[in-house]
Amino acid sequence: MYEASDLKKGLRIKIENDPYIVTEFNFVKPGKGQALYRCKLKNMISGNQFERTFRSVDMFESADLQEKKMQYLYHEDGKYCFMDNESYEQVFLTEDQVGDAVNFLLDNIEVEVLLFENKPLGITVPNFIDVVVTEAEPWARGDSVSGNTKPVTVQTGYQLQVPPFIEEGEKIRIDTRTGEYLTRVKG
């Protein structure tokens, strides 16, 4: 069981036998008033979204989902294909089901495919991935202490903010849970 204080983006809970994922989460509390946990929930089967506010006394069951390691093969006509490397079984997910993870889908990357009663619902990419920066403005030297960041594009097409000293062609590590830059990867 989860309590309201366990709620966060990405948590999967069961409501009336359907699995739901928290897609947006905000903690709201008037100074002297009670805490409210404002969530956007997505039904992981139908894709329907709705907003709901919980209180600290609310409890949730976790959604009973299986995860299977699979390899990303290719995408075609809005379908993403993944393969179980042991059984060679292939599954297809829609763009919606892949969601933000599309930003981190490197060729042949191993991901966790989420299954509910054997039907694929979504994927989880590794928490950290290393990617090559494919587009970046050159570094105006002397700018490093001003604390600015700059936007770059990486090999998957994803754009993010990085420190100004990162150059095109360099490898960087991204935390896929936040989508944020972590560090420069040498070599």
Partner 1 sequence: MTVDYSWKLAARLDSLRIRSEMLYSVRRFFHENDFLEVETPLLIPAPAPEEHIEAVQAENWFLQTSPELCMKRLLAAGYQKIYQLCKCFRKGERGGRHLPEFTILEWYRAEADYQDLMGDCEDIVSRISSDLGVAGIFSSQGGKISLQKPWGRITVEDAFIRYAGIKAAEALERGSFEEILTSEIEPRLGLDMPVFLCDYPKEMAALARLKEETPEVAERFELYIDGMEIANAFSELTDPVEQKRRFVEASRKREQEGYAIYPEPEPFLQALSRMPPSAGIALGVDRLAMLFAGRLKIDDVVAFTPEML
Distance CA 47, CA 70 (A): 22
Considering only 32-40, 92-100, 102-110, 114-122, which stretch makes contact with partner 1 by CB under 8 A? 32-40
Q: Which of 130, 163, 167, 179 binds partner 1 (CB under 8 A)?
A: 163
Least separation, in Å, of the C-beta of 47 and partner 1? 25
Residue 140, interface with partner 1 (CB under 8 A)? no
Pull the structure tokens for residue 151.
């936007």
Residue 34, interface with partner 1 (CB under 8 A)? yes
Residue 160 pairs in a beta bridge with 152
Residue 141, interface with partner 1 (CB under 8 A)? no
DSSP code, position 98: H
Residue 148, interface with partner 1 (CB under 8 A)? yes
Site size for partner 1, by CB under 8 A?
29
Considering only 35-43, 80-88, 94-102, 104-112, which stretch makes contact with partner 1 by CB under 8 A? 35-43
- For the chain, strand residue ranges (E) read 2-3, 12-15, 18-28, 36-43, 49-55, 59-62, 66-76, 79-83, 90-94, 110-116, 119-124, 128-136, 150-154, 159-162, 171-175, 180-185
Binding site for partner 1 (CB under 8 A): 5, 26-36, 38, 53, 56-57, 128, 144-149, 162-163, 175, 181-183
